[in-house]
Structure 1
Amino acid sequence: MEYRREIDGLRAVAVLPVIFFHAGFSFFSGGYVGVDVFFVISGYLITSIIIRECEEGRFSILKFYERRTRRILPALFTVIICCIPFAMAWMIPQQFEDFSKSVISVCLFASNFLFWRESGYFAPNVDEKPLLHTWSLAVEEQYYLFFPLFVLLMWRFGKRPTFYAIIGISLVSLLIADWASTAHPKANFYLPPGRVWELFAGSLCAFHFSTSVNRGNDWAGGFGLLLILIAIFWFDSKTPFPSFYALLPVVGTVLVILFADERTYVGRLLGLKPFVGIGMISYSAYLWHQPMFAFARIESIDAPSPVLMLSLAVMSLLLAVLSWKYVEQPFRTRSFRLAATRSKIFALSAATSVLLVSVGAWGGFTGQFYDLKTQPIQNELLTSALSSPKRDTCHASPRHNIPPVKACSFFSKNVTWAVFGDSHGVELAYAVARKLKEYDIGVKQLTFSGCRPTYGQSIREDPCAEWTSHAIDYLVQHKEIKTVVISYRINAALFGSQTGVYPSIPDKNTEKHRKDVWGSYIAEMKVLQKAGKRVVLVLQAPELPKDIQWMIYNTPLQSHQSVGGVPRSWWDARAHYMYGHLDDIPRSVTVIDPSKQFCNHEECFAARNGTSFYFDDDHMSVAGAGIVAGRITALVSPIASHLSRTN
């Protein structure tokens, strides 16, 4: 196959935006589409080789797998091996357990399935996963495993039927991607059904060149490059992806492959030495950058500065040069004697995989790393950092919708209380129910994951808004429920999450958005009061800069077995809108402020007196919620009716 410099240059256009996107530079908000560019390039190059060898009657599955093994595994295994000591030094046990499982999944070419089950690509804290980026390698590896077999099967019917079969599968895959981008966005992002069409787009380019010569066209090649750049700088985490939107980078890449060569301006631009040089090391650069960024985020309580992230990006390119020269090239050129033959490279790869899977199994399933890392006092604090035992079964979400009529009730058939809100109400519902159990009073849990206040807003096709409307209707209609406790992560709904930005104060939403959210917040209280309910509002508890486990392992233990969280001044600044609008709350609503139990004048604590107030970075633990529940049940009792409204 004739070498094309502009293809290596196109790899540079793919990898640099991905690196800058993972570094957190908002200017490259759609930098993740670089992966889609890689998919098209891979489909084109691999299919070109297969077609040529099939036409010459010398295609060998074993030879194909050998080439892929030499190309992918040595550098990948090197990066994983280098990650392990840093993971053991800097990760808390839960992180190391997750990391260890990801090591296993990478070795089994299945990390995309693991990350799909764990979290979304744009979820909070996901950028602390050192091997997150290997999901795309898993998709490619799955393509490499099955595509040659598919071509061999179809080739019996001829080249043209193979071509049309690829077109048909591509169209089906594209339609699946667009449908699943809203119906099943996490699965759609990670799994092959919504990605195959991108690889096959490159395959179709290969079929074109197998019968036609490259006819350079400045306009078509330039338009293709423009489409890629538009996606890089215009798309963001809210863009449904992959979907029809992915046609921009994919079609753009196809146009560059088909119409850019050394005779065109785009071809000559992409053929410049800096682009070609970065393109040649792009695979290693892709491998190295994410672990470096992830460990920088893991190690520090503060979000890494842009200067640090830029420095790490440059360092990843330098490591990529070394990796390309001393790892990639020796294996590809067979100059490394231990992997000089096919049997040797397969044996060495298998042995390394077994070793890494063994390490992953030790860290992911034995619990020995926890014992190695944990001191007795840390263990005591961790035992109270627990979520509700009913969280998995009783907490609604878009994937686990629980109609209000089927919502869980706790500990008594005499259900006269309800806890209503987002995920911050889950532990509170369980804790309140435990407090009321001795009085034979049951509690209904009505909570929906990530659901901001939406009552009264015209929001279509939103599972949260629909559920909220049904839940409030349920509460209004069920007269036996006398008391409703409302609990939201209201500051995140107003300004965005603190995750990854601390010690800065998040400010992600518009003023109109904040007015709408706060207006719905107040409207929910009013409609419940109008229905004769006694309303208790639990303000959001202070957030932590990191997960409670990280705080316990990495923050110096204070007196009285306490662990610091955030300065009180930071929390007051973070919650200024909430505190500044308390007068909007109806006078007869009982307002509970957890900061009065969790903070003093100087600091808000993660744990105190041997009790962890949280089970992650923002949700109260059952123990922490129990402290708040005790305050609630005291204030709404007849004896305490004379107490101050805000406590």
Structure 2
Amino acid sequence: YRPEIDGLRAIAVIPVILFHAGVQLFSGGFVGVDIFFVISGYLITTIILADLEAGQFSLLKFYERRARRILPALYVVMASCLPFAWLWLMPSDAKAFFNSVLSVLVFASNMFFWRNTEYFDAGSELKPLLHTWSLGVEEQFYVLFPIFLMLAWRLGRKRIVGLLTIGALLSLALSVYATSTKPVVAFFLLPTRGWELAMGSLIAFYLEGKARDQFPPALNQALSFVGFGLIAGAALTFTKETPFPGFYALVPTVGAGLIIVFGSPETFVGRLLASRVFVGVGLISYSAYLWHQPLLSFARHRSLTEPGEMVMAGIIVLTFGLAYMTWRYVETPFRRGNIVPQRLLWRVSLASAVLIAGSTVGLASITVEERNIVDREMRAQWRSGTCMFGVDQTYETLLQNHCDVVPGASAQARDDASRSSKRFVLYGDSLAAHLYPGLVRGLGEDGIIQLTAGGCSAIRVTKGRRCTDFYDWFVDDYVPTNKIDGIIVSSSWLGAYERIGDEEFRTRLDALFEKLKGRRVIVYSQPASFLVDIERYLYRIEKITREVPRTLELEPQNLEAVNTALSEESAKFGFEFIDITQLFCSRSQCGVVKDGVVYFGDRIHLALSGSVLVAELTHGLLTRDYAGAPGPGASDKSTRDNTLPREALIVRNLDGTIRYWSDGAKKLYGWAPYDVLGKMSHQLLKTAFPVPLKVIEEELGTKGRWDGQLGHVLRDGSRVRVVSHWVTEQFPHSQDTSMKVIEVNSPLNTSSGSFRDELISLLY
């Protein structure tokens, strides 16, 4: 017995637990698993060699020892997880958990997680049994390695060591290659992890029969310190971005190997690891490893946000408390043959496995896959499966459901003067479909034609026939042969932009715009893109708290680059670009919930309330009259010269509070939307009126419009005179009864002599 090996187990398990708890200091704590692999390879080989030397090695006895060591505590933890998984996890997560339980029972959890997850992805921390992948690797090693040693024993130690060395080097080479080409394979599977276990085995062969004092004390001190330093360095400096395992896994594994070889009790490192605290933690390390991930995972499932430091600290304390109880009352008794005989061990193990498997299958069968209420509401409003065809459908679904034509105007629509008489086509993927519920409230069912496809970008970026056929049909067949007042285009722009890069994105966007040239085209940005799973968050609200928080703001991904590309390419063709990001986001935070209203249904899609908000604040921009815009090569200088500001569109409340600030307003005045939203427009721009503001407001209230010239101060302090046109609007059938003002400003120095008349004709 070497107490420092138990101490080494302690410095393996502690970083793993702290890493999974989100302690930033231990950003590379996942390397603790690699230390366990080296320890396992060393100890297992030492045990087998001793039995082979004595001529009493039994495969059945070996598997019995492994079963006593692994199964009892594992089954206790798995059985404890089942009821909490069924009660607390959303159905899709519960289904995945039940499948992972079955994979653990057949020693294949590493294969399951290889096919279904990435260790460092955003959702990995929510998988209660993710950590059992390492048990799968070890169990597969335990099945194969003893058989290899039995068959190769007659070849002699040197040949066995040679074969092990060759196998380890091949495994390491495969690990290095797969880490750069197939990182998930490299992380989870035995062929790319086997070299770490083989390293421990080779150390066992090297140390067999050798005295512990064979090396000079100074060398032992130095190399054991180096080993400890390598482990500490990896645990403290590696991150999720470190290419792993590959060559980087040599750092903690070599460190563990140096401690095993040189960390004798006479060294400082050996004495430290052999101390009572480290040995105590090492003894319960297996149970601590089993308990920590389910506890952390369930805590995250039960919390609407990431649990705080005190909660995490409490979970870590609970982990070691449960680990001690499991070690004392489960692990220790089952390891003793006089307490649990061999026959009883196999019977209990088999019965436990059958009971857990049966319970898992039973719970899975009564777990109904359902979506949260916001998601159900969203997809019904999107007309999913009809006017947004799904992944197993083609664009012909749109034709079969008559989505390509406007139904005859109903009497209600004809009598509703608040409705627009214009007809728009909504084109794109699900980020176009999520605009439909709001748009249809303002434009009416007769004013909007929905032609959308789930998973198909608005631009031609995929080789899949389903999406390219839809794109070709829309731009080559539908658009040229139908009379429409405008085409609204929206898509998951960020995903396409990141996949193909800025230059290619602009090229393909221009290809779409070239096909739509001569039409009025309104391009919508996507509202936001979150890294957190909003859908799971909303499920927790619905099932756990039964309450919606008054406010929730989360950090989004940066959309500035893709929105710049959309704005600039739209301007080239005289198309309108509406940045709806500003309706929900400040510079660093986006409002998922505001005043108790949920605006987002998942990471990128708007809930019904969000869709309505977008429609309310952009309805007037859509329904104003449009005289057409020249395409590329037209003679209008303001269209060809993208450096000149176009008209500035501002949506504000009657009291002047700014609600929307267009890209043209940003170019004209110098302020970005984030700088001005919520501020009073007249105070911000230091507006100089031709007549008292009260007179203008009276005319606006009486006639619903006003036009004239105003003086404004730009962000840089310079002054500009603008032709300004104001129109009041109230969104039809909206719960928000407040009146809004659409203000259109254009600088006099960019217009021709009759600019004022042209602007007025454009707006009426």
- Please give the TM-score of this superposition, normalised by the length of structure 1: 0.73
Assess if the C-alpha contact under 8 Å between 1:544 and 1:566 holds in 2.
no
Is the partner of 1:409 in helix, strand or coil? helix
| CA distance in structure 1 between the aligned counterparts of 2:550 and 2:530, rounded to whole angstroms | 8
Name the structure 1 match of 2:516.
482
Q: Which residue of 1 aligns with 2:542?
A: 555
Alignment-derived partner of residue 525 in structure 2: 538
The answer to whether residue 164 in structure 2 is matched with residue 166 in structure 1 is: yes
- 1:239-254 matches, within 5 Å, as 239-254=242-257
- Distance in structure 2 (CA, Å) of the matches to 1:575 and 1:185: 24
- Corresponding residue of 2:77: 79
Cα distance in 1 for partners of 2:627, 2:312 equals 54
Match of residue 61 from structure 2: 63
Report the Cα offset of residue 414 of structure 1: 3.2
Counterpart of 1:619 in structure 2 is 604
Match of 2:578 among 584, 587, 591: 591
Change (3 A) 1:296 1:470: same
Q: Using the alignment, how far apart are the partners of 2:463 and 2:371 within structure 1?
A: 43
Is the partner of 1:195 in helix, strand or coil? helix
1:257 aligns to 2:260 (yes or no): yes
**Secondary structure of the residue that 1:413 maps to in structure 2?**
helix
Equivalent in the alignment of 1:344? 344
The answer to whether the 8 A contact 2:304-2:540 is kept is no
RMSD over aligned CA atoms reads 4.4
Distance 1:42 1:223 in 2: 21
Alpha-carbon separation, structure 1, partners of 2:606 and 2:186: 32
- For 2:705, the equivalent position in structure 1 comes to none
The alpha-carbon distance between structure 1 residues 261 and 592, as it changes in their structure 2 partners (threshold 3 A), is: same
Q: Where does residue 308 of structure 1 map in the other structure?
A: 311
Match of 2:282 in 1: 279
Is the contact made by 1:404 and 1:446 (CA closer than 8 Å) also made in structure 2?
Answer: no
The 2-side partners of 1:594 and 1:35 are apart by 43
The CA distance in 2 between the partners of 1:392 and 1:195, in whole Å, is 42
User: What is the match of residue 235 of structure 1?
Assistant: 238
Check conservation: 1:301, 1:546, Cα contact below 8 A.
no
Question: What amino acid is aligned across from residue 516 of structure 2 in structure 1?
Answer: K
SS at match of 2:578: strand
**How many Å separate the matches in 1 of 2:250 and 2:583?**
52
1:447–1:307 CA distance, 2 compared to 1 (3 A): same
Give secondary structure in 1 for the equivalent of 2:130.
coil
Question: Match of 1:358?
Answer: 358
Partner of 1:20: 18
Distance 1:404 1:548, change over 3 A: closer
SS at match of 2:155: coil
1:67 CA drift (Å): 0.5
SS at match of 1:322: helix
* Partner SS for 2:472: coil
Deviation of residue 452 (structure 1)? 6.3
Which structure has more relative contact order (CA 8 Å, sep 6+)? It is 1
Aligned partners of 2:13 and 2:33 also within 8 Å: yes
Please say if residues 491 and 526 of structure 2, whose CA atoms lie closer than 8 Å, have aligned partners that are also in contact: no
Deviation track 1:105-157 (CA, whole Å, cap 9, x = no partner) reads 11111111222222211111211111111111111111111111122222232
Would you say 1:146 and 2:131 are equivalent positions?
A: no
1:22 and 1:293 in contact (8 A); partners too: yes
Matches for 1:429-468 after TM superposition, within 5 Å: 453=498, 464=499
Higher mean C-alpha displacement, 243-252 vs 52-61: 52-61
Question: Percent of counterpart pairs with the same letter?
Answer: 35
The answer (yes or no) to whether the contact 2:109–2:136 under 8 Å persists in 1 is yes
The letter for the 2-side match of 1:306 is E
**More off after superposition, 617-626 vs 269-278:** 617-626
Amino acid at match of 2:131: H
Of 209-218 and 344-353, more deviation after overlay is shown by: 209-218
The residue identity in structure 2 corresponding to 1:69 is A
SS of 2:211 mapped into structure 1: coil
Q: Which has the higher helix share?
A: 1
Change (3 A) 1:28 1:201: same
Specify the SS of the correspondent of 1:618.
coil
Q: TM-score w.r.t. structure 2 length?
A: 0.63
Where do 1:481-520 residues align within 5 Å?
481-482=515-516
Q: Which residue of 2 aligns with 1:221?
A: 224
| 1:56-205 pair list within 5 angstroms | 56-205=54-203
Please state how far the C-alpha of 1:285 moved relative to its aligned partner.
Answer: 0.6
Q: Distance in 1 between the 2:511 and 2:107 partners? A: 52
For each residue in 1:488-525, what CA deviation from the matched residue of structure 2 results, as whole angstroms up to 9, or x when unmatched? xxxxxxxxxxxxxxxxxxxxxxxxxxxxxxxxxxxxxx
2:361 is aligned with what amino acid? A
CA distance, structure 1, for counterparts of residue 361 and residue 483 of structure 2: 45
CA drift at 1:555: 3.4
Q: 1:584 to 1:378 in 2, by over 3 A?
A: closer
Contact 2:128–2:297, Cα closer than 8 Å, also in 1: yes
> How has the CA–CA distance of structure 1 residues 467 and 556 changed in structure 2, closer, same or farther, with 3 Å as cutoff?
same
C-alpha separation in 2, matches of 1:340 and 1:22: 37
Q: 1:233 corresponds to which letter in structure 2?
A: L
Question: In the TM superposition, what is the alpha-carbon distance from 1:325 to its structure 2 partner?
Answer: 0.3
SS of the counterpart of 2:122? coil
Contact 1:388 1:622 in 2 (8 A): no
Q: Which amino acid counterpart does residue 52 of structure 2 have in structure 1?
A: C
The answer as to whether partners of 1:106 and 1:138 remain within 8 angstroms in 2 is: yes
Letter paired with 1:175: A
Amino acid at match of 2:2: R
Q: Check conservation: 1:416, 1:480, Cα contact below 8 A.
A: no
Structure 1 unaligned residues grouped into runs of 5+ = 418-432, 454-463, 484-531, 608-612
Which aligned pairs between 1:568-647 and structure 2 lie closer than 5 A?
570=553, 586=568, 588=571, 589-593=576-580, 602-603=594-595, 605-606=597-598, 614=601, 617-620=602-605, 644=649
Q: Which moved more, 1:35-44 or 1:352-361?
A: 352-361
Aligned equivalents of 1:600, 1:357: Cα separation in 2:
40
Secondary structure of 1:369's match?
Answer: coil
1:513-554 C-alpha deviation (Å, 9 max, x unpaired): xxxxxxxxxxxxxxxxxxx99672414337596542552453
Deviation at 1:295, TM superposition (A): 1.1
Q: Does the C-alpha gap of structure 1 residues 283 and 575 become closer, same or farther in structure 2, counting only changes over 3 Å?
A: closer
Number of residue pairs matched by the alignment: 546
Q: What's 1:206 paired with?
A: 204
Structure 2: how far apart are the matches of 1:62 and 1:82?
Answer: 29
1:389 is aligned with what amino acid? Answer: G
Task: Please list every run of 5 or more consecutive structure 2 residues that lacks an aligned counterpart in the other structure.
Answer: 395-453, 585-589, 629-647, 651-659, 663-764
Offset at residue 61 of structure 1 (A): 0.9
Aligned to 2:368: 370
Q: Is the alpha carbon distance of 1:251 and 1:396 closer, same or farther for their aligned partners in structure 2, counting shifts above 3 Å?
A: farther
C-alpha distance 193-469 of structure 1, shift in aligned 2 (>3 A): farther
Asked whether the equivalents of residues 107 and 353 of structure 1 are also in contact (C-alpha less than 8 Å), the reply is yes
Q: What corresponds to 1:390 in structure 2?
A: 391
Letter in 2 for 1:234: T
**CA separation in 2, counterparts of 1:117 and 1:413?**
35
Paired amino acid for 1:340: P
Per-residue deviation, residues 77-96 of structure 1 (Å, max 9, x unmatched): 10111112222222222221
User: Structure 2 CA distance, aligned partners of 1:83 and 1:187?
Assistant: 27
- Asked whether the equivalents of residues 490 and 524 of structure 2 are also in contact (C-alpha less than 8 Å), the reply is no
Q: Which amino acid aligns with 1:416?
A: V
Match of 2:744 in 1: none
Tell me which residue corresponds to 1:414: 473
Instruction: Quote the Cα distance in structure 2 between the aligned partners of 1:388 and 1:331.
Output: 57
What is the CA distance between 1:481 and its match in structure 2? 3.8
Distance 1:221 1:234 in 2: 20
The C-alpha deviation readout for 1:561-607, integer Å capped at 9, x for no partner, is: x9847727x36x8699969x999955945114178599899447447
Q: Distance in 1 between matches of 2:116 and 2:482?
A: 35
Shift of 1:176: 1.2
